[in-house]
Amino acid sequence: MDKLRIVGGKRLSGEIPIGGAKNAALPLMAASLLTDQELTLRHVPRLADIDTMTNLLVQHGVTVTLVGANGKNGNGNGHKRSHGGGMTMRLKADDVGSTVAPYDLVRKMRASVLVLGPLVARHGEAKVSLPGGCAIGTRPIDLHLKGLQELGAEVVLESGYVTARAPKGLTGARVVFPQVSVGATENLLMAASLARGETVLVNAAREPEVADLARCLVAMGAQIEGIGTDQITVRGVERLHAAEHAIVPDRIEAGTYAIAAAITGGDIELLGLDLDLMEAPAKTLSDAGVAVSSTDRGVRVTSGNRRATGVDVMTEPFPGFPTDLQAQMMALMCVADGAAMITETIFENRFMHVPELCRMGANINVHGSSAMVRGVGSLTGAPVMATDLRASVSLVLAGLAAQGETTVNRIYHLDRGYERVEEKLAACGADIERVRG
């Protein structure tokens, strides 16, 4: 297994191009199942999760073609895409043979469950393996299933699979989510776009990736209002058609590299995204004494070679502080002046990075869903273990600031969500290399 070897202490400066959002690309790829015409996606990031979704769609019978890197200046969604980046992917589901999503693929990536809504809506049935839990929590899909039932699907759970049927099609309904769920909102958005009549999603997720999916569905002919709000109205149509869509930039990748600048006392320009995608993290960083400003090419993060100041963080659904940046922020708070109380409200077990950070000399005490972090003078490099995608990148960030050498093992977790992480960091001066294992 590959690992990353990092020698800390280098101030990072330079620029990092931000790719298309993984958590937008995955539902957008699933949306190809809603039509027999071609869906073209631009700025698709090169990630293991994208490969997994590709394999899943191909086994359903979708033709997936990659046409290489996007041309320069691939503009889209009004974002400042001064660089190309990513791939252009063409998907065509004109010959869906199987509506079964098998366990061996779904267990690798929970987002596979996003084929459920499109398959039921367009093909009248779907049999999807229950994703099972993962390192950060049990991660049920009850909200997805309840929503589909409210649209008229018959849902049966048997031997680890969920089978959903709607042979006569789905019927629009008012679906109220008892709690915000990104995936359930996306599944229902896709299903409702082909349902008879009107669907209203109440307490819908407002994440930019959800809005990006909705914009793409509209380009495909769906009738959707309230995009980006917590109440989305969908008027079902007979069929959807071909479309081309530029994927929204990845605010979590951007936030991760913003914290890389902060933790090394550096100065990095994040290319290709607007500050409005990361207002909450930007506010938290500026409260911690890190300057975050908008430029004509993206977002600039300057720490002025000062240590950050400890600030409290509570994760919340968008537009609050994203749970996917909690581990990374904790790494920064480990070497900040003062203390920080970090509270995780979205997932029940998202502190796996804590014991590994403590092995590097961090002072962290976990009480239930909160972690009290007291800044220390410096961290010490050590061999550490990645456990999940965001925990693994927080260990990389800690390694960039630590004295001496850090080796991050099991970085297959990292490769699920970060494209060429060692190249992007090395280009800004980090002493980091991938050791093939």
Peptide bond into 140 cis (omega under 30): no
Asked if 151 and 175 touch (Cβ cutoff 8 Å), the reply is yes
* Cβ at position 346, least distance to ligand EPZ in Å: 5
Query: Applying CB under 6 A, does 160 fall inside the site for ligand EPZ?
Result: no
* Residue 184 touches ligand EPZ, criterion: CB under 6 A: yes
Task: Please tell me the total number of residues recorded for the chain in this structure.
Answer: 437
Task: Candidates 56-64, 138-146, 260-268, 379-387: pick the segment binding ligand EPZ (CB under 6 A).
Answer: 138-146
144 binds ligand EPZ (CB under 6 A): yes
324 near ligand EPZ, judged by CB under 6 A: yes
**Does residue 280 bind ligand EPZ (CB under 6 A)?**
no
Shortest Å distance, C-beta 293 to ligand EPZ? 26
Of 3-11, 36-44, 142-150, 279-287: span binding ligand EPZ (CB under 6 A): 142-150
Q: Of the candidates 153, 198, 210, which has an alpha carbon nearest to the alpha carbon of residue 174?
A: 198
Rounded to the nearest 10 degrees, the angle between the axes of helix 389-401 and helix 326-334 is 20
Active site residue 358: no
- Least Cα distance to 267 among 297, 296, 299, 313 occurs for 299
As a whole number of angstroms, the distance between CA 43 and CA 298 comes to 16
199 vs 315, beta carbon nearer ligand EPZ: 315
The stretch near ligand EPZ (CB under 6 A) out of 179-187, 227-235, 288-296, 302-310 is 179-187
| Contact between residue 87 and residue 67 where contact means Cβ atoms under 8 Å apart | yes
Binding mask 104-123 for ligand EPZ (x = CB under 6 A): ------xx------------
If you ran DSSP here, which 8-state letter would residue 235 be given?
Answer: E
Instruction: Identify which of 12, 7, 11 has the alpha carbon closest to the alpha carbon of residue 381.
Output: 7
Residue number with CB closer to ligand EPZ (134 or 291): 134
Q: 342 phi and psi, to 5 degrees?
A: -110, 120
Active-site residue (options: 134, 334, 358, 428):
134
Q: 123, 117, 113: which is closest to 167 by C-alpha?
A: 123
What are the catalytic residues?
Answer: 134
Which residues are near ligand EPZ by CB under 6 A?
Answer: 23, 26, 110-111, 137, 139-144, 179, 181-184, 323-324, 346-347, 389-390, 417
